[in-house]
């Protein structure tokens, strides 16, 4: 008998992608799926009506009487899961039809693995594939090696790991998702905890498809929220019980991994500050936002480099403007006198002749 897999589908106010994600889930070739749909947006009967039209298989529906925080909502789904395995799928993302079957088989084949991950594709709003993660990943690897390849060497080339499969009991044991502002990086934090507890099974034959949309909840975050969540994520590494236990028993390994994770987080904030928020904020707001991260020589060296390029560009523009103005003044016709009756004079000789005429 196939083990039951719960697919958690958290929803809030955005419902336009719901028919598509329901079709994606119904297309799974794995027979034992417990679809758990959760309304956190006070949508009344709207969600159930859409589900009835677009999903023909059995499913469960839960609804919060009041909207709760995104991390609490995610953990409600884990607490309500009936399956031996659990995965969460955002309403605007997708998975290939063999995603569930592939990862279940991988996890069954490796009892020491608590986490299953597939290839990751980035797609645009229309579903066109923009890029893919590496397929050259060992099918079974240790948790620390997965952390290294994902966040230190970046050889696995994942852009997002928002959907993965894990043993439900282990998810509950390690406390589920932590509580960071707007849910930023909570998927990474949960993955790290799972990696510190066991091995990772990888499927090169299936894929999680992450939709990149500038208007999405994560990408539209105010930079103050992003900065706060980044700091919470870095502080979480000092406080989480799973991390603390691993650090006590494997201090050298954790020291290496922690340094890589913090370096990666600072680099991520830096990229978004430099490339995304420079177009959204006033210059003063943008400069202030640069100093929201804790001290790191690497981070602030990069910030200083960006400021230096900005200053050089500003001075270059000013120099070119001044030079152009001087050239225009030098090229302008020379005039003698202040009256309206004087014609342009092109040389000192003509100017002398004009003065003689004016004096008569």
| 194 found inside a domain | yes
Are residues 337 and 211 both part of a single domain? no
**Looking at residue 343, what is its pLDDT?**
47
What pLDDT is attached to residue 215?
Answer: 64
Judge if 52 and 180 occupy the same domain: yes
Could you give the number of structural domains in the chain?
Answer: 2
Are 171 and 311 within one domain? no
Is 59 within the bounds of a domain?
A: yes
Give mean pLDDT, residues 135-161. Answer: 96
Q: Are residues 194 and 335 in the same domain?
A: no
With H, G, I as helix, E, B as strand and everything else as coil, classify residue 52.
helix
Long-range contacts of 177-181 (CB under 8 A, 24+ apart): 177/71, 177/74, 177/75, 177/78, 178/71, 178/232, 178/236, 178/240, 179/69, 179/71, 179/72, 180/71, 180/229, 180/232, 180/233, 180/236, 181/225, 181/228, 181/229, 181/232
* Predicted confidence (pLDDT) at residue 352 exceeds the cutoff of 80: no
177 with 325, same domain: the answer is: no
Supply 154's token pair.
């970046």
Quick one: 203 and 331 in the same domain?
Answer: no
Q: Which of 190, 219, 248 is the last residue of a domain?
A: 219
Query: What is the pLDDT at residue 13?
Result: 94
Give the pLDDT band of residue 214 (cuts 50, 70, 90): low
Which two structure tokens, joined as six digits, stand for 48?
Answer: 């159930």
The answer to whether the CB of 322 falls within 8 A of the CB of 256 is no
- Phi–psi pair at 115, nearest 5 degrees: -130, 135
CATH number at residue 106: 3.90.550.10
pLDDT of residue 319: 65
Q: Judge if 310 and 203 occupy the same domain.
A: no
**What does pTM read for this prediction?**
0.85
Tell me the DSSP string of 110-136.
-TTEEEEEEEEEEE-TT--EEEE--S-
Instruction: Tell me, yes or no, whether 279 lies in a domain.
Output: no
Instruction: Assess if residue 251 is contained within a domain.
Output: no
Q: Which domain holds residue 344?
A: 303-359
Give the per-residue pLDDT at 315.
74
Distance of CA 19 to the CA centre of its chain: 24
- Give the per-residue pLDDT at 135: 86
With respect to residue 269, please indicate whether it lies within any of the assigned structural domains.
no
Distance of CA 65 to the CA centre of its chain: 30
Query: Are 175 and 309 in the same domain?
Result: no
Write down the pLDDT at residue 322: 65
Q: Is position 235 within any domain?
A: no
Last residue of a domain, one of 219, 250, 270: 219
Give the pLDDT confidence score for residue 221 in this predicted structure: 87
The last residue of one of the domains, among 185, 200, 219, is 219
Q: How confident is the model at residue 312 (pLDDT cuts 50, 70, 90)?
A: confident
pLDDT confidence bin for 287, thresholds 50/70/90 = very high
What is the DSSP secondary structure assignment for residue 43, as one 8-state letter?
Answer: -
Instruction: Determine the pLDDT at residue 332.
Output: 60
Q: What is the per-residue pLDDT for 334? A: 47
High-pLDDT (> 70) share of the chain, % = 87
Whether residue 315 sits in one domain with residue 214: no
Q: What pLDDT is recorded for position 299? A: 97
Q: Does residue 295 lie in a domain region?
A: no
Q: Which residues pair with 119 in a beta bridge?
A: 207
183 with 56, same domain: the answer is yes
**Given pLDDT bands bounded at 50, 70 and 90, which one contains residue 310?**
confident
> Residue 140 falls within a domain, yes or no?
yes
Give percent above pLDDT 90 in the chain.
Answer: 82
**Angle CA 211–215–221, to nearest 5:** 105
């Amino acid at each position: 008998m196939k083990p039951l897999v719960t697919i958690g589908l958290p929803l809030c106010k955005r419902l336009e992608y719901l028919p598509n994600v329901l079709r994606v889930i119904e297309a799974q070739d794995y027979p034992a799926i417990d679809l758990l749909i959760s309304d956190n947006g006070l949508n009344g009967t709207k969600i159930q009506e859409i589900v009835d039209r677009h999903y023909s298989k059995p499913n469960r529906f839960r609804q919060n009487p009041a909207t709760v925080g995104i991390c609490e909502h995610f953990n409600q789904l884990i607490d309500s899961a009936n399956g031996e395995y659990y995965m969460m799928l955002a309403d605007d993302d997708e998975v290939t039809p063999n995603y569930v079957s592939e990862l279940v088989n991988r996890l069954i084949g490796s009892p020491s693995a608590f986490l299953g991950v597939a290839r990751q594709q980035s797609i645009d709003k229309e579903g066109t594939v923009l890029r893919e993660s590496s397929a050259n990943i060992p099918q079974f690897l240790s948790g620390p090696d997965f952390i290294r390849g994902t966040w230190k060497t970046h050889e696995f080339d994942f852009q997002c790991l928002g959907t993965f499969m894990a043993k439900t009991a282990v998810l509950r044991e390690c406390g589920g998702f932590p509580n960071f502002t707007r849910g930023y990086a909570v998927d990474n934090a949960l993955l790290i905890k799972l990696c510190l507890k066991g091995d990772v099974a990888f499927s090169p034959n299936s894929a999680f498809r992450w939709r990149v949309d500038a208007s999405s909840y994560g990408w539209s975050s105010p930079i103050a929220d992003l900065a706060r969540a980044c700091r919470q994520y870095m502080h979480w590494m000092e406080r989480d019980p799973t991390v603390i236990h691993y650090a006590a028993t494997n201090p050298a390994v954790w020291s290496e991994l922690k340094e890589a994770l913090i370096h990666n987080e600072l680099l991520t904030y830096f990229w978004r500050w430099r490339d995304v928020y420079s177009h959204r904020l006033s210059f003063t707001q943008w400069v202030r936002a640069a100093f929201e991260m804790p001290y790191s020589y690497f981070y602030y060296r990069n910030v200083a480099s960006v400021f230096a390029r900005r200053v050089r560009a500003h001075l270059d523009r000013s120099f070119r403007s001044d030079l152009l103005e001087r050239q225009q003044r030098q090229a302008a016709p020379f005039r003698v006198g202040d009256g309206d009756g004087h014609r342009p004079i092109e040389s000192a000789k003509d100017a002398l002749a004009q003065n003689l005429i004016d004096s008569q």
